[in-house]
Chain A
Amino acid sequence: MAESHLSLRLARTWRSFVKPSICNRCLQTRRTLASQASAPQGQRDAELEEASSLGGAPDAGSGSPVRDFDPLKVPRSRKRQLVPSRYQFRSPKYYRGPLHPHQPPPPSDPASREFVPGPFSTPRLEQTYHNIIAPDFMTMCYQHTPPGFRAPQKGARLRPWIGDSPYFRNRPLRGPRGGDVLRLLRKPITFRNIPMIERVTVHSFVKGALSGGSGYIHVAGMALQAITNHRVMTHEARTNEANWGIIKGKTVSMTVDLKGEDMYHFLGKLINVVLPRIKDWNGVRATTGDNSGNLTFGLDPESVATFPEIETNYDAYPGKMIPGLHITIHTTATCDKDARLLLQQVGIPFYGKVVD
């Protein structure tokens, strides 16, 4: 191995010594510029097909084998069924540890029991975000620095313990000034960190379930599932709270976490159809937010009833049992101002005093 390396290296250095006129960079650029037509022909991978199978078939005439192919012909003409144990794979129902010979396939495998089929559409809101909102956001939040500019160096955000005390040695850094919350830093917006909507949490606290039995929970679960296309996750009370009638261990609320396609469909539906129908609504209060770019607003039961899914069979839900909602929109923005700007562009109106 070492000898071959040595000889190769010597040969290469010798070659470059003899013919120093052309370097690798030049070769690359020359190929792309001058001999564009001839060089890639030889370089092209022989296994790559020239024609795409997705376009129209080149020879799809009426009598061609492409048109006449019937995938069901051979299986239907078969006298006996194939042996299922040889031709069908069944994922094991149980996971029996890493040393078991029969391992389940990973969840990304369609044969896995835990497989969830992928996106079924490209949501309109997502395309709007990528085509219109994100470029505009970057232009709006761009911060220009002149060429020679160097940002002033800031000290560490957490101070060390300084003093003669022997207890200060190797002690963890002091907490943040003025409180115990270290807020997120806002970095300048570039094309890499344009804020986007990460996930949406729909939460419903079912007050009626405290006294009215489990019917409220079931109805709220069905309503949330109809709205969000997801099975809900229920939550039990963790402590007793006598004033509010909360008993420890009793199911009181439910959440749905939405991501990706479902999230965009839910938001599109919410913004375009549901929010405009709320009576005397000024928008989301501008004071909302947790200082890290996650904004929350609520819907009352009457507004929840105007979701198209609930409206179509409103009779199926007992009228008094339709829940109210809290909708938390988690964005990748690190401050509420950016998140509000993003959601304004998406189409959620804000009103009132602005707190940053």
Chain B
Amino acid sequence: MAPRSRGAKRIADALGFSTPKNHVCLSCRQSLALTRPQRGYASAATAKATVEAPPITQLSPDGPEASPVPQPIFTIKAGVVLSRPPLITPDPHPFETAYYLYQRRLNERLVLPFTQYFYYKRGTPAFEQWRTKRQARGGAATRDIGKYNAYTDEAWNDEVLEGDETGAPSKIVEQLIADEGRAEEFTGTGDPKFAGLKRRTEADEKNDQRSLERSLSRTLYLLVKNKKVAGQSQDESDFWKFPSGTIIGHEGLKQAAQRILFSSLGENMNTFFVGNHPVGHYVARFASPRPGPPPQMTTETSKASDSALLKQEVAQQPDQHPSLVNGEKTFFMKARIMAGQPSLAASQDQDIEDFRWLSKDEIEKAVHPDYWVKVKNMLATQ
């Protein structure tokens, strides 16, 4: 830095408005101050402690009354992000298709020529068949580059024209099957050409969002719509959510998620919970404190010993479940469905109105915007 400009900087410093902090206005500085403490662990811990309610086990009857500021009390819920992984590879972007075709034609010019006599003995019927098909292809050995011969004078003309479908995967597969000549074996029970290679199903055509055979190339997530409860506002019951429920007693998130999934949507599902940790969480704050969930009795699926323990605890600490809560926190567990389907008729709680299997961009339209912001980062794009 030149001495003169250094002097200018000193003047500006003396005036007090050249430091980067002073370029930030008041509202921004407040927002910065809000975000900054997360860098240090200790300060983050203190900030968290002010916001978060202490764990339920440590809540003694005189706890909240002893502290001068009443802390918000949350219901802890477990949610299930049940997903079906993509079953087929996604359709490539047009640029990918074009790029791969270009590379394959380039490769045709640079690679060692195909040693056809190693695979087809001269004079055999297989060789004659191979030769006629190769000539029909314009002399190229491979079937995925269209009519292109790298050994002619016009080999430079390797770019396909507008609207040419040569490089499309469906076209390549069609070409391969036609070359093999056993196309009828791909036709399944249905009529259409190559039914075994169909990428769209009936559920796609009908847009059957309850079916697991829709959108085969996307990850589908299970969303449910709860039945209307009397004290609930209109838009709360209107939006879709991941299945969730309140944790009972000392059960872990994974056990709770499993129980909630089976009790609310039937047991006809083969699921696999990925890991023991939640993949995301959603905090809902109520406008006014509401009555918390009643201390539920255990469902019949849980073990007898567990229920005895729980009843004992509930009897010991009647004040454990607060009468009024300020909000609820939902922790989402990730699960995969291997087989089966949820069924509303088999559910025990009967509080679910409908379910759907949706991909990520369909979820965005179905859920509440605030919910979407909290939930979107744990969903796979594809």
Contact = CB atoms under 8 A, between A and B. Distances in A.
**A and B pair up:** yes
Interface of A: 1-3, 5-6, 9-10, 13, 16-17, 20-26, 52, 54-57, 60, 66-67, 69, 71-72, 75, 110, 115-122, 124, 127, 130-132, 135-136, 139-142, 144, 146-150, 312-313, 316
Given A13-B17, A17-B15, 17 more contacts: A1-B2, A6-B4, A13-B12, A13-B15, A60-B163, A71-B157, A71-B161, A110-B106, A119-B100, A122-B96, A127-B89, A139-B274, A139-B334, A142-B275, A147-B48, A313-B118, A313-B119
A124 B169 CA distance: 13
B157 A72 contact: yes
B107 interface: yes
Contacts of A1: 2
B96 A9 contact: no
Contact of A117 (B8, B95, B96, B106): B106
A142 B44 contact: no
Nearest to B277: A142
A5 B7 CA distance: 12
B110 interface: yes
Nearest to A140: B275
Interface stretch (B21-29, B132-140, B199-207, B362-370): B21-29
Given A13-B15, A26-B27, A148-B45, A117 B107 contact: yes
13 contacts: A2-B2, A22-B25, A60-B163, A72-B154, A122-B89, A131-B382, A136-B334, A139-B277, A139-B334, A140-B274, A147-B41, A148-B42, A148-B45
Nearest to B52: A147
Contacts of A150: 41
A121 B100 contact: yes
Listed residue (A17, A116, A139) with the most chain B CB atoms within 10 angstroms of its CB: A139
Nearest to A2: B2
B99 to A, nearest CB: 8
Nearest to B112: A231
B37 to A, nearest CB: 11
A9 B12 contact: yes
Interface in B125-154: 154
A131 B85 contact: yes
B353 interface: no
Contacts of B22: 16
> On chain B, which size bracket covers the interface?
35 or more
Interface in B82-113: 85-86, 89-90, 92-96, 98, 100, 103-104, 106-107, 110-111
The list of the 8 closest CB pairs from A to B, nearest first, reads: A148-B45, A2-B2, A54-B94, A117-B107, A139-B275, A140-B275, A23-B25, A132-B85
Nearest to B27: A26
Interface in B1-57: 2, 4-5, 8-9, 12, 15, 17-18, 22-25, 27-28, 41-42, 44-45, 48
A320 to B, nearest CB: 19
Given A26-B27, A139-B275, A54 B95 contact: yes
B380 A135 contact: yes
Listed residue (A67, A75, A132) with the most chain B CB atoms within 10 angstroms of its CB: A132
B306 interface: no
Contacts, number: 127
Contacts of B25: 20-23, 25-26
A181 B108 CA distance: 48
Listed residue (B5, B103, B277) with the most chain A CB atoms within 10 angstroms of its CB: B5
Contact of A55 (B94, B100, B275): B94
Contacts of B23: 16, 23-24
A258 to B, nearest CB: 17
B159 interface: yes
B219 interface: yes
Contacts of B162: 57, 60, 66-67, 69
B85 to A, nearest CB: 5
B45 A147 contact: yes
Interface in B319-342: 334, 336
A302 to B, nearest CB: 22
A24 B23 CA distance: 8
Contacts of A72: 154, 157
Nearest to A148: B45
Nearest to B101: A120
B279 interface: yes
A149 B25 CA distance: 34
A339 B12 CA distance: 58
A313 B48 CA distance: 68
B331 to A, nearest CB: 11
A57 B163 CA distance: 7
A175 to B, nearest CB: 35
B4 to A, nearest CB: 5
Given A1-B2, A23-B25, A316 B118 contact: yes
Contacts of B103: 117-120
B45 A131 contact: no
B159 A6 contact: no
A116 B163 CA distance: 28
A146 B55 CA distance: 13
A119 B102 CA distance: 10
B336 to A, nearest CB: 8
B50 to A, nearest CB: 12
A291 B45 CA distance: 37
Given A21-B25, A139-B279, A122 B110 contact: no
Contacts of B9: 9
Nearest to A131: B382
A238 to B, nearest CB: 31
A2 B5 contact: yes
A146 B45 CA distance: 9
Interface string B55-82: 0000000000000000000000000000
Nearest to A132: B85
A275 B382 CA distance: 29
Contacts of B28: 23, 25-26
A3 B4 contact: yes
